[in-house]
Amino acid sequence: MQEQGALITDDAVVFGILMTILALVFTTSASKHPFWIKFYKVIPSLLLCYFIPGLLNTFGLISGEGSGLYTMASRYLLPASLVLFTLSIDFKGIIKLGPKALVMFLAGTVGVIIGGPLALFVVSLFSPDVISGTGADEVWRGLATVAGSWIGGGANQTAMLEVFEASPTLFSQMIAVDVIVANIWLATLLYGAANSEKLDKWFRADSSAIHKLKDKVEKYRDSILRIPSTGDTMKVLGVGFGITGLSHLMANIVAPWIAANYPDLDQYSLTSTFFWIVVIATTGGVVLSFTKARDLEGVGASRLGSVLLYVLVATIGMQMDLMAIFDNPVLFMVGIIWILIHVTIMIVVAYIIKAPFFFVAVGSQANIGGAASAPIVASAFHPALAPVGVLLAVLGYALGTYGGYICGLLLQWVFHL
């Protein structure tokens, strides 16, 4: 719809608009003017980087659907940013974060699995057509594809499409539910990240391990910090995009080979090229963290990684069309209740085990958003924490097909009640 009616369709122009938005947001957020200081105490800068492009897409000024910028950012800029973030990774520090990160991730997975069937049942109480009307047999099949996406990612969603055989028309509607609801939740998490200290007090959480990791990384950065030369910056970008190129090269060999020889491994997302790009890029950064390349942090490796990630945030934001909610409001109601059940379970578990909000946010986004956005949420707390989001998101790929399949069976059970 927006691809046809968008005012601006040239990606070069759209990219220029997105970069201008990012520049304005970060210029004003660094301003000492009283208005901007008060403004950014309420509205996190990262949220604006995401939300303003969403508004431009919603009102038809640009087209997220018709643009190739998200594909570019997710395939080129995301892997490079993962490399630059993991160059100075502190494995010992991450291990000291303890098991709560894994517990919260699994709580999020359970929330998705049981949230879908419960949401479908609740909506059916005041809108029976959702399970008994014309085409109702298709609804649960379509929702199963959302479950695959919200636990793993696009590959898992496609797997559920094949398993439960949802119609193409319904699948397109489910993609809208997936994108809109997930992006609204991402915006909520970015807002929460800016107020994490207050939330940690409510959870009665001990976030000292997280703060120690941030402080340790900052001290290390200060010890090697120097003014970067043009050569230094080129080295950083060369490493980031060099490993990205290598990850594409290897992924384009590994994924098709596995698909041809071991097609059953599709259920683990091992036939997904994007999966291997993320894994190989992250692994490359981890390996380099044991070499002298680690010292590139002193000339702004993670800072440049953040720049690349913010561009990704803007391209994710331009995928959001708030008006799509009115196309099929019942399905969106299912999606909203579903995500609320997921959130409720995570909050209850976090309160019981006294987990910091960081684990809630990253554990949730590792499920709902996957590798493309989990590092964004983690880095909203601190760039040093981005690898935690990556590691949990990769775990989501492994569980996505299993969780989506179980959720699909439960959705079918609700339909036959």
pLDDT at residue 279 in the model:
82
pLDDT at residue 50 in the model:
80
Mean pLDDT throughout 373-398?
79
pLDDT at residue 134 in the model:
52
pLDDT bin (cut points 50, 70, 90) of residue 47 is confident
Higher-scoring residue by pLDDT: 165, 329? 329
Could you tell me if 346 and 357 are in contact, meaning their C-beta atoms sit under 8 angstroms apart?
A: no
| Highest mean pLDDT: which range of 97-111, 228-242, 399-413 | 228-242
Query: Over 70: is that where the pLDDT of 267 sits?
Result: no
> In the numeric block, which tokens belong to residue 193?
């990240």
pLDDT at residue 1 in the model:
41
Q: Which of 70-74, 177-181, 205-209, 309-313 has the lowest mean pLDDT?
A: 205-209
For 114-150, the pLDDT digits (tens) are 999 999 999 988 888 776 655 566 788 888 889 988 9
Residue 240's nearest CA partner among 284, 274, 287, 298 is: 284
> In the numeric block, which tokens belong to residue 278?
């993320």
Query: Over 80: is that where the pLDDT of 280 sits?
Result: yes
Q: Could you give the 3-state DSSP secondary structure of residue 7?
A: coil
pLDDT at residue 347 in the model:
93
Query: Over 80: is that where the pLDDT of 248 sits?
Result: yes
The amino acid occupying position 231 is: G
Q: How far is CA 139 from CA 124, 187, 416, in A?
A: 11, 27, 12
For 166-221, the pLDDT digits (tens) are 776 677 678 778 878 888 898 889 888 888 888 888 888 877 778 777 777 777 77
In angstroms, the CA 126 to CA 389 distance is 38
Higher-scoring residue by pLDDT: 58, 241? 241
pLDDT at residue 2 in the model:
44
Mean pLDDT throughout 354-363?
90
Residue 139's nearest CA partner among 149, 148, 129 is: 129
> In the numeric block, which tokens belong to residue 56?
């431009």
pLDDT at residue 136 in the model:
60
**C-alpha dihedral, 69 to 72 to 74 to 80, nearest 10°:** -130
Query: Over 70: is that where the pLDDT of 228 sits?
Result: yes
Mean pLDDT throughout 244-252?
96
Q: How many CB atoms lie within 10 A of CB 414?
A: 18
The overall average pLDDT reported for the chain is: 84
pLDDT bin (cut points 50, 70, 90) of residue 3 is very low
Query: What are the residues whose beta carbons fall under 8 Å from the beta carbon of 293, sequence distance 6 or more?
Result: 87, 239
Mean pLDDT throughout 328-338?
89
Query: Over 70: is that where the pLDDT of 93 sits?
Result: no
**What is the pTM assigned to this prediction?**
0.69
pLDDT at residue 251 in the model:
94
- Phi then psi dihedrals of residue 62, to 5 deg: -130, 170
pLDDT at residue 158 in the model:
64
In angstroms, the CA 48 to CA 92 distance is 34
